[in-house]
Each structure stands twice: as C-alpha cells, then as structure tokens.
Structure 1
Amino acid sequence: MAVGMFPPSDDERISYAENGHKLGSLELQQQQKNVDDDGRPCRTGTVWTASAHVVTAVIGSGVLSLAWSMAQIGWIAGPVVLLIFAAITFFTSLLLTDCYRSPDPVTGKRNYRYKDAVKANLGEIQLWCCALVQYSNLMGTAIGYTITASISMVAINRSDCFHAKGHNGVCNTSNNLYMALFGVVQLMLSQIPNFHKLWWLSIVAAVMSFSYSGIGLGLGISKIIENGHLLGSATGLPIGLTLGSVTPARKVWRVFQALGNIAFAYSFSTVLIEIQDTIKSPPAENKTMKKATLIGIITTTTFYLSVGCFGYGAFGNDAPGNLLTGFGFYDPYWLVDFANACIVVHLVGAYQVFSQPLFEFVESTAANKWPKSGCIHTEHAIRIPFVGTWRVNVFRLLWRTMYVIFTTIAAMLLPFFNDIVGLIGAAGFWPLTVYFPIEMFIKQKRIESWSWSWVALKTISAACLMISIAAGIGSIEGILHSLKKYTPFKTTYD
C-alpha cells in the first residue's frame, strides 16, 4: 500500500496482488501492522525521543541573552520570571497536545502541522491569521540568526586579532562582511528542495547548540570562582545618575525588552504538533506528549536558570547582550573561539530549519494557483562535476534567493541582537504559544462562555497579550535607541 493512503476497507481486503494471486491473510495482517490509522508508516517515537526533540527545539541562541535579561530584572524577579514563562509554556503546550487529533484528542483525525490543527479547530480565517503570524515570525527568526552568526564571527576575528597583536592592538571590525558571507552560505543551502533533506543539518545544529551553551555555563562558573563572589543586585540595573545606571524610563523599556528575550528562549510551540506526529500509539499520543513536554520543559528550565544565573553572577549588571562575547577576546581565546564557531555552525542549520516551512508554504501556494506554469513546476537537471546532478527549479531559485538577500540586508540595517530577539519573542509569544492553543482547547472541549474555566483561560490569554505588547514596545524602543548610535553599513566594533 502506498504511503499516504488510508488502510484498506473491508471490501478492498479481498483483492489481488500484481502477480494475480489473492493476498493471503497473513500478508494482509503484516501489511496492516506496518501502517498507522492514517495509512502512513508506523510512528516509532517514544516519550524519550519526543523529550529529546523538545529540548533540541527549545535550547537555541536565545539562551545567550538570558544573563542580560537577568541583569535588567535582578536576582529576585529574574528567576521568578523565567519560571513563570516556563509554567505558561508548559500549560499551553498541554492544551496543544490535545489538538493533535480533532475533534476527539484520542480517536480524531490527525493534524500533521500547527496550522492544520488551527484550521481543523478554528476555521479558515483563523488559519490565515496563524499563517501570517507564524511565517512572519519565521522570517524574523532568520534575520535574528543572521545577526547572531555575524556577531560570533566578529568575536572570533577580534579574538584572533588581539591574540596576534596584543591586548592593546587595533582590531576594529565590521559585521557587514560576515553577514554577507553567512548569506552566501544560505543562498546555496536554500536550494535544497525540501525539509526531509535536512535531517543531518538538524542533528549538527543540535550538537552545536548544546556545545556552546555548555561552554557558556562552564565559563560563567569559572568566572564566579575567579571573582570570589556573585555579582549583581536584587533589582538589576540601577536607576540614577551614577556610572552604569539608567533613567527610570530606560529601566522600564529594558525590563520589557528582557521579557521578549525570555519569551524568545521558550518559543517551541510551532513545532510541538510536528514532534507529536512522530509518537507511536498506544498509549494515546497526547498522553505521551504531555509526559515528554514535562520532561523537556523541566530540563530546559533547569539549564536556562543555570546559564542565566551563573552568567549574571559572573558579570553582574554589566552582563553582555550575548553571553559569550562577555568573556573577552583574550585567554582562553581558543575556547571562546570554539564556542562562537559552534554558534555559527548551529545557526547555519537553524536558519534552514526555520525557513523551510516558509519556503514550502510559498511554493505550494504558487503551485496551486498556477498549476500549468512551467517556471513553477519544471525541474531542470544540471550535471555538476564531482558532485552529481543538481535539480533546479526557476521559481524556487529566484524566490529563495530573494528571500535570503532580503533577510541579509534587513540584518545589516538592524544588527541589534537583544532588540531583534526581544521583538521576535514578543511577536510570537502570545499568538503562537498562548492564544491559539487556548482558543483551540476551548473550541474542542466546548467550554461554555463565562464559565469559570472560560474566564480563567481568557484571563491567562489577556495577561500574556499584555506581556507581549509590553515586550514588543520595549524592543522597538531599544531598536530606536540603538539606531541613534549606529550608521548602517559603516559602524564597526572597537
């Protein structure tokens, strides 16, 4: 039976194989065992594989901004805010696991993607709202990853420069060249036809993510030991006129921006349905996914608290926006170089992982709208010596090239790590992590309006909306503030 077909009906079970002989009952039973209820090959995922996927999806470059976020909020509120975001993400993720199947969470029809679940539960209009937010967020993430990768490449360049010239050497560096180099790499990788060809890139990206995060944690601990005590304060960055302090208004904006950075670190809801689609049953997929989500959130939150707290304890209120750039460009320069190289390799893969769904959406929409267009549907085989045959599609080549160029230029115009990360986190947190899961759960469970459950869920959604708005405003203010000191294509790091 072909992949993607439903299991045969009772009438179809009396059929003949290609050689004209009747399909034996034992062969039929074996064939049925190899597919799930939707006719696709049997899922093999377990609670442990799903937990690993969750951890891999959550831990990314957002971890680098947590020490800076703690510095804005302080020792008292910082860990509490991290735990609140973890609790909200866990709660809404539990609701989302019940939306993998609809209308019934155990026996209903499978939804293979986040937007499929939104369409099945909330309808076509909500689907387009979801798609707009989700794909805009993915594009913003690609821009953010370009910025982060260039910062790490600049850090490697400056580290090697100082190592060669001494601590007083002149090592001014612009990140524009490195953004362009990152864009050239993405131009090539973006021509990989589909997401299924990128499994190896995802594995490499996950290994790199754990590597640089672990190095950042280790360096933070060692610096605290070197200092002999924890730095930082109860309320974070002080307000006043002294050195290192900020105005009351600036303090508020930076706290809001920190909320966006933390929200970005916990953004994984858009891939939860895809992860759940890898789980075997019985038991029911939602039960397994709830256990996996609990394990994943506990693991990542423990890791985040460790990196954020040790990073803040190492640098105090002067914690850098990108944790790894705060350890200087001197000794151990080779370890910091290696960590930054891991970031670059991770983001090369992560850029593609987050861009492929947008590529697929645009190309499938164009294919449906113009079914007879040769530009969209025709594949041209080009023989490349020592490499093999490369299949080129004109529309894919042009559209993906334009996309990469756009994200690269946008990153050059706004190369502000914390501001952009905060804005992306703010834009995606409420709609994708909170609103759609809650609305789908209300619709699926048929919760009556103004009942206690309905009021509680709506209150959580409204509170998170306020957090997203505040974080978004803070991040936009941060971008405007940074633009006062930045000249596009000219400013260098010194």
Structure 2
Amino acid sequence: MIIWHSHVLFFAQLMMMLSTGPTQQWLCAFTQYTNLWATAVGYTVTASTSMVAIKRSDCFHSNGDNSPCHISNNPYMITFGVFQIIFSQIPDFHRIWWLSIVAAVMSLSYSSIGLGLGIGKAFESGHSHGTIGGISIGHGPDDVSRATKVWQVFQALGNIAFAYSFSAILIEIQDTLKTPPPENKTMKRATLIGVSTTTFFYMTIGCVGYAAFGNNAPGNLLTGFGFYNPYWLINFANACIVVHLVGAYQVFSQPIFAVFESWIGKRRPHSRFIHNDHVMNVPFYGALSVNLFRLVWRTAFVFSTTIFAMLFPFFNDIVGLIGAYGFWPLTVYFPVAMYIHQQNIRRWSTKWVWLQILSLISLLVSIVAALGSVEGIYQDLKHYTPFKTKY
C-alpha cells in the first residue's frame, strides 16, 4: 500500500544512491521528472479516451453500431483537468490512504472485464483469429505497406515498455514502507511478484485480444469498439479506468510537487506567499491546508499537462513515446549504473559485460520504440486539427 509522506524528497535519495558523477545525477533527475510529467499527460489522454468511449457507447446503443457518433474529447480532458486541480491541492496522501486499494480494485476490474470479453469473442464462430505474421503487406483494403508495419511494430514496443512505468516512482514507493523487515528486501519481493503478475496478465490479454479480433485488433480493447455489447459492462469498465487514472495522476505528480516546492522553499525561506497556509474545512475530507503558492503552481502544472494532451490526443502513439522515453534510462541504465557502483563490479568482468549488453539492447528498444511513436504522431497530425477533430 502506498502511503505518501508529506515531503518525500526523491531527488535527495537519488543523489545518495547514484554517486556516479554530477552529470549523471542531473540527467537522471531530469529524465525522472520529465517522464513523470509526460505520464500525467498520457493519463489525461487515456482518461478522456475512456470518457469519450462511454459517451459513444451510449450513442451506438441508441442509434445503432453503424452510427457515426463523433465526439470531441476536449471537454472531457478539461473536466479531468479540473478534478486534478482540486486533488492537487491535497498536500499529501496521509488522509487518503485508501487510494492504492481503489486503484488496485479498479485496475483488476477493467482488466478482468477486457479479458472476459476477449475470451468470449475469441470463441465465437465465423470470424478470423488472425495470422502468425499479423497484418499482411500489400495493396488490399486491409493491408499495409512494409514501412507502416515496421513503424507499428516499433510503436508497439513503446506501448509494452509503458506497462512498466512504475520504475519512475520505485524509490518513492520504497520510502513509504515500514521496517522491519528492511525496505529493500520487502521491495525486492514486491517487485518480483508485481512484475511477474503484470507480465502474465498483460501477455494473456494481448494474446486473447488478438485471438478475438485477429489482424483488426484495436489499440485499446475497451475504447476501440471491438465490443459493442453488453454496453453497460463496457461503460463500467471505462468508468473504472477513469477512476483509476484520477488517482494515478496524483501518484505520479506528487513527487514533482514535493521536490519543486522543497527547492523553491529553501531558496525563498521568508516568503509568505510560498510558506503561509490557510486552513479550510472540506466536506468528507476535513481540514485542508491551502497554500497560495501551491494553488498557483500546481494549477499551472495541471494546465500544462491538459493543454499538451489536447494538442496530441493520440492514445497509442503518446503512450508508446512515453514508454520509450522512460524505459531505457529509468528502468535499465541508471539502476544498472547504481548496481555496478554499489557492488564495485570490476570493469570488463563477465558480470559487467552482460550488464552492458542488457543496457545496450534496452537502449535499442527505446530508440526504435520512440521512432515508431513519433512516426505515428506524424501520421496522426496529417488528419488532425487541434481542438477541433472529433472521434
């Protein structure tokens, strides 16, 4: 269970762990926090996509599956942003410890619904289950060019990498664990169980989704309208996604808030605007400490993520790009560098060489995933007018 401390200084911990030089320290911190900001953008896109899917599902149910039902996701992004402005004013998560439980229940709910619907669809008779080679290369209506297929494969790697974005807040989570037993032992066991479960579940859903829809599998099973019925169940699954991401946005944003506010507070120790709090009583929450600086800066943060999401509301492409950006440096390179430094692994030893090979392969995965996602965004922009296009 993730219970946030009031002033968790991830940056300070990182500096202690990564004593491999100031340049690498700066690069790691920069990558860390830009990745967290980008993840907040991705969550805004994803949440609005699910909200639009609920609206379109109701439209299809009322007017038929072949109805256009084009809906803009801009109002839903703005709505999501308004809620985040409100939740961002909560100084920490001591008072809402149930956040992790709600997120876990929501995640399990919509994932199980998608898996169940996929299994049901896969066992229906009279539809294609796809081919081993995937979408055919050619000039037919359902074919793609060789280059397009390569780009889409690259983008898919980024989507897979995004599934393991928890590495961006790994030390933050560890910092909230109680001892004994030692934090690192608890975290190692939790990470092993979590990664194994996630990998198994996601691989199962991916395989079932392809068995259900074949070469025409949508990028998102619950919002791509491979399923139209039962519409109430699909709506419920998408509502679970939205609830999950409302909390997840804060989980990934709070480290940025804490570090920046600590840094600016030390630079302006006598500023009333920065340090003075005003207590307000909020229904169902209790006493809430409101700080004018926190109100202005956190609102500006949410505004920036919302505007960027509205400019680039491309679910798979944005998710792939974020996954590519954070995968190699945060999941592989810097953890490997820390491990080598702490264990005093000798240069050019067998273990050192294999760790470098792992890092190099991961770097190539991030590069090709980023290229595929950028190409996807470029293609999307050809048919997209900012703030006007409907889906």
**TM-score of the superposition, structure 1-length normalised?**
0.73
| Equivalent residue, structure 2, for 1:171 | 69
Deviation at 1:195, TM superposition (A): 3.6
Q: Is the 8 A contact 1:382 1:391 kept in 2?
A: yes
Q: Which has the higher contact order (CA 8 A, sep 6+)?
A: 2
Matching of residues 218-237 of structure 1 within 5 Å: 218-227=116-125, 231-237=129-135
- Equivalent residue for 2:53? 155
**What residue in structure 2 maps to residue 252 of structure 1?**
150
Please say if 1:409 is aligned against 2:330. Answer: no
Distance 1:159 1:261, change over 3 A: same
Residue deviations 1:376-427, cap 9 Å, x none?
A: 1011234568975442211100001111111111111100001000000001
Following the alignment from structure 1 to structure 2, what is the Cα–Cα distance between the partners of residues 306 and 476? 28
The reply to whether residue 241 of structure 1 matches residue 147 of structure 2 is no
CA 1:389 to 1:288, structure 2 compared with 1: closer, same or farther past 3 Å? Answer: closer
Q: Does 1:145 align with 2:19?
A: no
What is the correspondence of 1:42-441 to structure 2 with a 5 Å cutoff? 113=10, 116-122=13-19, 123-227=21-125, 231-277=129-175, 278=177, 280-282=179-181, 285-328=183-226, 330-382=228-280, 389-441=287-339
User: What letter matches 1:127 in structure 2?
Assistant: Q
Give the fraction of aligned pairs with identical amino acids, expressed as a percent: 62
Q: What secondary structure does 1:363 align onto? A: helix
1:181 maps to a residue whose letter is: T
Closer, same or farther: CA 285–364 of 1 in aligned 2, 3 Å: closer
Counterpart of 2:17 in structure 1: which amino acid? A
Using a 3 Å threshold, how does the CA distance of structure 1 residues 374 and 305 change in structure 2: closer, same or farther?
Answer: same
Cα distance in 1 for residues equivalent to 2:135 and 2:292? 52
How far did residue 210 of structure 1 move?
Answer: 0.8
1:300, CA displacement in angstroms? 1.5
State the distance in 2 between where 1:386 and 1:422 align. 38
Q: Is the 8 A contact 2:137 2:144 kept in 1?
A: yes
Judged with a 3 Å threshold, the aligned counterparts in structure 2 of structure 1 residues 361 and 197 are, in CA distance, closer, same or farther, namely: farther
TM-score where L is the length of structure 2: 0.91
**C-alpha contact (below 8 Å) 1:263/1:425 kept by paired residues:** yes
Structure 1 counterpart of 2:75, which letter?
A: L
Residue 251 of structure 1, CA deviation: 1.4
CA contact (8 A) 1:159 1:329 kept: no
Q: Work out the CA distance in 1 between the residues paired with 2:95 and 2:286.
A: 16
User: Which deviates more, 451-460 or 268-277?
Assistant: 268-277
- Structure 2 residue matching 1:226: 3-state secondary structure: coil
CA contact (8 A) 1:382 1:389 kept: yes
CA deviation string 1:333-355 (max 9, x = no partner) = 00101001111111111111111
**Larger Rg over CA atoms:** 1
User: AA paired with 1:119?
Assistant: M
- Structure 1 Cα separation of the partners of residues 85 and 345 of structure 2: 48
Secondary structure of the structure 2 residue equivalent to 1:334: helix
The letter of the residue matching 1:375 is: F
Aligned counterpart in structure 2 of residue 483 of structure 1, from 376, 381, 384:
381
Which amino acid in the other structure matches residue 218 of structure 1?
A: G
Mark the runs of 5 or more structure 2 residues left unpaired by the alignment. Answer: 3-7
Q: Is the 8 A contact 1:208 1:342 kept in 2?
A: yes
CA distance, structure 2, for counterparts of residue 143 and residue 442 of structure 1: 33
Q: 1:167 to 1:249 in 2, by over 3 A?
A: closer
1:44 maps to: none
- Partner SS for 2:289: strand
Q: 1:287 to 1:357 in 2, by over 3 A?
A: closer
**Paired amino acid for 2:375:** E
How much does 1:437 deviate?
0.9
Question: Alpha-carbon deviation of 1:236?
Answer: 1.8
C-alpha displacement of 1:240: 1.5
Q: How far 1:297 moved relative to its partner?
A: 2.2
CA 466–114 in structure 1, closer or farther in 2 if over 3 Å, else same: farther
Partner residue of 1:3?
Answer: none
Question: Does the Cα contact within 8 Å between 1:115 and 1:127 map onto a contact in 2?
Answer: no
Query: Within 1, Cα distance between the matches of 2:195 and 2:228?
Result: 35
> What is the alpha-carbon root mean square deviation over aligned residues?
2.3
**AA matched with 1:304:** Y
Aligned partner of 2:5 in structure 1 is: none
Contact 1:209 1:342 survives alignment (8 Å): yes
- In 1, Cα distance between the equivalents of 2:369 and 2:11? 24
Change (3 A) 1:118 1:321: farther
Equivalent pair of 1:327/1:336 in contact (CA under 8 Å): no
Cα drift, residue 435 of structure 1: 0.5
Instruction: Name the count of aligned residue pairs.
Output: 384
| 1:35 aligned residue | none
Shift of the alpha carbon at 1:192?
0.7
Q: Which region of structure 1 is more displaced relative to structure 2, 228-237 or 434-443?
A: 228-237
CA separation of 1:434/1:170 partners in 2, compared to 1, >3 Å: closer, same or farther? closer
Shift of 1:117: 4.1
